[in-house]
Structure formats: C-alpha cells, structure tokens
C-alpha cells in the first residue's frame, strides 16, 4: 500500500463519493481532486470534489461535501472532522494526525525512498544534445543537454528504460561544404588533419558557408537597376565563385554517400574532433551523454530513400509542385519529405528516426528535447509518422512529444551573445561560472583546504548553471545571469546544496560522538515524534516527493521538481533553526530528529541527482 497521502486520500474519497451517491453515474469516475492544502493554517490536504459534483448533480456543494464526509472514514489517518472541515463553497479540509504522519513517513523510509516500480515500465527515447559537426557547443545546446538529461534521469528513476539519442547534425550539404573545404585546405598544405582543433573547424565551417552562398538576388537587382558595371562585375565574380564552391560541396556529398575512403576519412576526422569536444563538455556539465548515445543523421542516410519510397508507394505522401509532401488534417503547411530535385530534408531524417526509435528500439514514448521554435516541424512529423504507421506499437501508438524549450536571453532581454554578437561557447561559460564560484567559496569558507575549495567551486558552479535553467518553465525564454544564479540566495542550486550540506554536517557530528553509528545510519528506525509545527511541516514536505516526480514525468517539466526541492529545503531550514537536533531535550526526540535529517539528506541528494546536480559534504 502506498504511503503517499495524495494516493491514499484519493482512494478513500473515491470510495466515499461512490458510496454517497450510489445511483449517480457522475459519481463513479469523479476525480476526488486532492491537493496539498492551499493554506497550511487550514489543512494539510484538501479535496475540491464537492463543487464539480454539485454542478453535475444539481445540488449545493456543501450538501455534497457533508454527504461525502458521512461516508468517509479517515480515523487511522486524519484528525476528526470538525465544523471547519467543510469550508467556503465546499472545500473539504483534511489534517493528518501526527501518528499517521509518522507512520507514512516510516514507509517512505526505504532504500528506494518509496518510489515503486511501475506495473508496465516503458521504453522511452529521449532526444537530447543535438550538436552539429564543426561547430562549437554554445548556449543553444545548453538547455537540450540539461533538460534532456534531467528528464532522462527522472524517468529512469521511476523505473522506465530510457534510451538517450544524440541526434548529431553530421550529414547533408552543410557538412559536405566544410568537408570539401577541409580537404581543399589539406591539399593546399595549409591544414593538418592530425592537429586540428574545433576552433579551426568552426572557422572553416563559416568560411565554407560564406563561400557557398551566392548573392543571386543582389546580382539580379544590380542588373535590373543598371548598377555600375564594376559593381555588377564584382557580383558576377562572387556568384560564379559561390556556384563553383557549391558544386564542389555537392560532389563531396555524393562521394560521402558512395563511401569514398578519402572523403569519409576527412569527414570522420571532423566528426571525431567535434564529438570529443562535445562529450567532454557534457561530462563537465555532469550530463550523461556518451559516445554510444550518438545516432547522427548520417546513420539514417541509407534509410531515407526506403522511407520516402515506402511513403510514396502507400500513398501516405503525395506530389506537389514536383516535391513529395505528407499532408495532415488540421495542419495547413504540408510536411516536405523530398525536394523537387530529389534531395531529402531534415523532416525525412526525422521520419526515419521515429521509425527506428519505435520499431527497432522499441520505444513507446519518444521525447524530443529541442528548441521550441521547431514546434511546427514536430507537429508535422509526428502527425506524418502516425499517418504512416511508423509510431505504431502492439499496444497502440507511441507517445511522441516535443519537450520544447525557450531561448537563453542576456540581461538586456535579447538572445545571450557576446558583445560582438558571437555565440557564447559553453566551455567559456563553464569556466567563468567556476571562476566566480571559486571567488565566493574562497570568501565564505577560507578555512577549507584549497583542493576541496576547488572541488566545491566546480560543483557549485555547475549546480548554479543547471538549476537556473531547470527551475524556469521549460517552454519559456529565461534570462541568464551569473550574478543571480551565483548569489547563493533564494531559489538557486547553491541554496539547495547548502541545505543538504547542513543535513550532512549534523549527521557527521552525530556520528563523531563516541559509540554512535556511522553518519548514514543516524536515526535509522527511530520512532518519529512529530510534535513541533516545523517537524510536521518537514514530514509533510518529505511525503510529497513521489507526487512531484510523477508530475515531472507526466508534464516533462523539471521546474516542478526544483520547486518541490526548494520547498523541502525551506521546510528543513525552518526546522533547522527552530528544532535543535544534537542538543534536543531527550534521547527520543534527538533520535527522531536525526531520522528526519537523514531522510531529508537522502531525499535532497536523490532529487538533485535527478536534476543532474552533484553534491558536496561541506561548503
């Protein structure tokens, strides 16, 4: 049986509602609408079921509430009902008894912290990171890595099998351009493949982009408006040059597709350099993105023609102005899967990816952690995939979800860039955070050994970056500010690390006393005596953990877990200042409070781990 008050109360209320109105169909699947009490003064939990039920049955809600209470037996869990139990239009207020609270908390105190395995675990693909070859990782990748990793960790924690997929942009004309450029530079003796950095590659990439983009419109305009012959000549030269470069890139793409060894070797070198840097950065961010998670666009290249033929043959796709499109009801813009020149597009690759993820990897849920501006694109390909049957599983269509995220803005409210308008490299961002965190640690904790201080600065810095990202509504833009995230005040990663460090400090001190058990087992099994207000509130906060995790898994919004952990840390801080632990009056109280500390410690650490945030013992 569950210890989660939300679930227990929901069950009890469901039965009571059914019993109170046995002949009413509306009462059979009425949602008990149990939530934590809006106002802690009035209730620990409340049910809002009476109001909608009153509407459905045409009776006053307070009358409904009385009828529910008459059938409701919560003697083992809650304090007796009073006149105040039914309040306002028909809220039903529930106050858990101290004994019940202690009992429930005791059942949360298991190795898994009360998180039960699901009856039917899912295989879930999480698409995250999504770097491009020959490009530095910048803030545009930050959220995909951080949010995707947190979602993957949370879903894993809930007992699902998660398959991470790094959909690397490693194919297509853009990549062929930089490959061609690198080969040309190599042939000219200006470049050595053996000591090539990602910075070099990015320079080549930009150069190739520029050289391949012809100013056709400029030339047309110049001709139409009888521009100066010299200007026209310059534009003609540019356009001719660009067309040549583009032709070279296309030829390179053909050679890549034909597995030409020399071309593939150059491409592979570019991929290796990029991926090495990518995985290093992910590791610095403590995000679990490894080589085996890479499933680049190149890995689908052989499947694209098959997919397109399949869609055309089964008439899922149709021709339109020479191109092949999939039309979906409710979406005006058709989904292009083949250009009129026969080339494939990124939607083609995404269709192939859905097919593989559901059919080969066995996913019943696919989560795309990608910029929210691609919302229309995902709407299209999800619809197209369903239409094509690619998302079908034996138990019904797989759930395809776009967990889109907003942009990272600077403090001026515009996309976060350097002063010169360049993307900010993630490595620079991380370096700066660590440097700033180091300065604070040195100021606040000068007595700690330098090596430990350095470690703390690193953990705190990454926690600050990630928590700032995760604690904001995923779908919305957020303002990036070192000062705010590293101010160590309020709803920040460092605040949570600090609360956790305080729990550990108490447990450590308790363990240092002669004859005591080691820190992790302090308070283990001690009877919980929840008499003080702050003890009860801490207990209630602890019990809400499973609900918070379920909510994240359903909504794919990690900021709900952040909010929960912040509330928990706040409840602990209040407990900490008001309820002495080591110097508590009486051994029983001391043991009970130690157990509360130990539970808080485990739960905070667990929650932070799900956010992909490492912890420290002291700070």
Partner RNA sequence: GCGCUCGUAGCUCAGUUGGAUAGAGCGGCGGUUUCCUAAACCGCAGGUCGUGGGUUCGAAUCCCGCCGGGCGCGCCA
Site for RNA in 568-607 (CB under 7 A): 570, 573-574, 576-583
- Considering the rule CB under 7 A, would residue 121 count as an interface residue with RNA? no
Q: How far is the CB of 227 from RNA (least distance, A)?
A: 26
Task: Restricting to residues 373-402, name those near RNA by CB under 7 A.
Answer: 373-377
Phi, psi of 459 (to 5 degrees): -65, -45
Q: Does 509 bind RNA (CB under 7 A)?
A: yes
* Nearer residue to RNA within complex by CB, 446 or 525: 446
What is the C-alpha to C-alpha distance for residues 131 and 179, in angstroms, rounded to an integer? 17
The residue within the footprint of RNA, chosen from 181, 504, 536, 602 (CB under 7 A), is: 504
444 contributes a contact to RNA by CB under 7 A? yes
Q: Which is nearer to RNA, 193 or 346 (CB)?
A: 346
Q: What is the DSSP letter of 24?
A: -
Give the nearest distance from C-beta 450 to RNA in angstroms.
14
- Map residues 13-52 to x or -, x wherever contact with RNA holds by CB under 7 A: --------------------x-xxxxx--xx--x-x--xx
CA distance 377 to 370: 11
What is the distance between the alpha carbons of residues 113 and 45, in angstroms, rounded to a whole number? 21
User: What part of residues 473-502 is at the interface with RNA (CB under 7 A)?
Assistant: 473, 475-479, 484, 487-491, 494-495, 498, 501-502
Helices of type H across 374-425? 375-388
Task: Say whether residue 243 binds RNA (CB under 7 A).
Answer: no
CA distance 282 to 262: 30
Exposure string (b/e) for 583-609, b if CB count within 10 Å is 16 or more?
Answer: ebeeeebbbbbbbbbbbbbbbbbbbbb
Least distance CB 111 / RNA (angstroms):
25
3-state helix, strand, coil in the chain (%, to 5): 55, 10, 35
Closer Cβ to RNA, 288 or 564, answer by number: 564
Between residues 289 and 459, which has the closer beta carbon with respect to RNA?
Answer: 459
Instruction: Tell me, by CB under 7 A, how many residues bind RNA.
Output: 101
Quick check: 199 binds RNA (CB under 7 A)?
A: no
Q: 55 to 84, contacts with RNA by CB under 7 A?
A: 55, 61
**Closer CB to RNA, 271 or 288, in the complex:** 271
Task: State in angstroms the smallest separation of the CB of 327 from RNA.
Answer: 9
Give me the least distance between CB of 617 and RNA, in Å please. 6
For position 136 contacting RNA by CB under 7 A, the verdict is no
Examine residue 531 and tell whether it contacts RNA (CB under 7 A): no
In the numeric block, the tokens 């869609």 are attached to: 311
Q: 392: which residues sit within 8 A by CB, 6+ positions away?
A: 358, 398
The verdict on 410 binding RNA (CB under 7 A) reads: no
Q: CA nearest 355: which of 319, 313, 310, 415?
A: 310
How far, CA to CA in Å, does 343 sit from each of 84, 333, 338, 339, 340?
A: 70, 19, 6, 5, 7
Q: Which of residues 279-338 bind RNA (CB under 7 A)?
A: 297, 320-323, 325, 332-334, 336
Residue 194: CB minimum distance to RNA, A = 28
Instruction: Round to whole Å and give the CA distance between 391 and 398.
Output: 5
Site for RNA in 355-374 (CB under 7 A): 373-374
Structure tokens at 600: 């808080």
Lookup: tokens for 104: 């429930």
Q: What is the smallest separation between the CB atom of 34 and RNA, expressed in angstroms?
A: 9
43 in Cβ contact with 88 (< 8 Å): no
Residue 245 beta carbon to RNA: minimum distance, rounded to whole angstroms: 15
What distance in Å separates the CA atoms of residue 302 and residue 307, rounded to the nearest whole number? 10
């Amino acid at each position: 049986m569950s210890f989660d008050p939300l679930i227990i109360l929901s069950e009890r209320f469901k039965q009571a509602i059914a019993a109170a109105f046995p002949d009413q169909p509306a009462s059979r699947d009425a949602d008990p609408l149990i939530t934590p009490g809006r106002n802690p003064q009035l209730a620990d939990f409340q049910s809002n079921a009476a109001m909608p039920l009153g509407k459905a049955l045409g009776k006053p809600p307070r009358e409904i509430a009385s009828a529910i209470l008459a059938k409701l037996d919560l003697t083992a869990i809650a304090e007796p009902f009073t006149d105040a139990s039914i309040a306002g239009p028909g809220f039903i207020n529930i106050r858990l008894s101290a004994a019940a609270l202690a009992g429930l908390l005791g059942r949360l105190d298991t190795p898994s912290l009360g998180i039960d395995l699901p009856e039917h675990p899912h295989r879930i693909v999480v698409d995250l990171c999504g770097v491009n070859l020959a490009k530095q990782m910048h803030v545009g990748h930050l959220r995909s890595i951080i949010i995707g990793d947190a979602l993957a960790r949370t879903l894993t924690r809930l007992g699902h099998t998660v398959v991470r997929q790094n959909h690397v942009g490693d194919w297509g004309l853009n990549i062929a351009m930089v490959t061609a450029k690198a080969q040309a530079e190599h042939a000219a003796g200006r470049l050595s493949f053996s000591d090539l950095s990602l910075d070099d590659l990015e320079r080549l990439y930009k150069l190739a982009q520029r050289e391949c983009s012809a100013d056709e419109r400029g030339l047309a305009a110049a001709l139409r408006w009888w521009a100066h012959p010299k200007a026209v000549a310059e534009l003609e030269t540019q356009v001719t040059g660009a067309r040549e470069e583009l032709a070279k890139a296309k030829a390179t793409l053909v050679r890549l597709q034909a597995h030409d060894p020399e071309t593939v070797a150059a491409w592979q070198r570019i991929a290796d350099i990029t991926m090495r840097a990518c995985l290093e950065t992910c590791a610095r961010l403590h995000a679990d993105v490894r080589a085996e998670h890479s499933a680049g666009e190149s890995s689908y290249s052989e499947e694209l023609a098959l997919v397109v033929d399949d869609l055309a043959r089964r008439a899922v796709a149709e021709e339109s102005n020479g191109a092949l499109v999939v039309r979906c009801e409710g979406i005006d813009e058709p989904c292009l899967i083949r250009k009129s020149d026969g080339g494939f597009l990124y939607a083609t690759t995404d269709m192939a990816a859905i097919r593989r993820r559901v059919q080969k990897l066995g996913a019943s849920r696919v989560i795309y952690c990608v910029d929210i501006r691609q919302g229309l694109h995902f709407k299209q390909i999800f619809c197209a995939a369903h239409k094509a049957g690619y998302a079908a599983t034996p138990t019904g269509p797989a759930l395809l979800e776009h967990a889109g995220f907003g942009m990272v803005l600077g403090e001026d409210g515009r996309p976060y860039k350097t002063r010169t308008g360049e993307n900010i490299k993630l490595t620079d961002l991380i370096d700066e955070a660590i440097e700033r965190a180091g300065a604070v640690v040195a100021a606040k904790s000068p007595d700690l050994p330098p090596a430990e201080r350095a470690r703390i600065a690193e953990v705190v810095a990454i926690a600050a970056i990630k928590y700032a990202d995760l604690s904001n509504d995923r779908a919305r833009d957020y303002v990036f500010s070192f000062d705010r995230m590293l101010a160590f005040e309020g709803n920040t990663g460092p605040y949570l690390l600090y609360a956790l460090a305080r729990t550990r400090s108490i447990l450590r001190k308790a363990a240092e006393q002669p004859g005591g058990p080691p820190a992790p087992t302090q308070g283990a099994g001690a009877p919980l005596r929840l008499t003080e207000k702050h003890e009860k509130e801490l207990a209630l906060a602890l019990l809400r953990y499973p609900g918070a995790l379920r909510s994240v898994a359903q909504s794919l919004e990690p900021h709900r877990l952040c909010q929960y952990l912040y509330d928990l840390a706040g409840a602990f801080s209040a407990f900490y200042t008001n309820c002495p632990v080591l110097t508590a009056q009486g051994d029983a109280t001391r043991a009970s409070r130690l157990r509360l500390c130990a539970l808080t410690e485990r739960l905070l650490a667990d929650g932070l781990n799900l956010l992909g945030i490492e912890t420290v013992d002291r700070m």
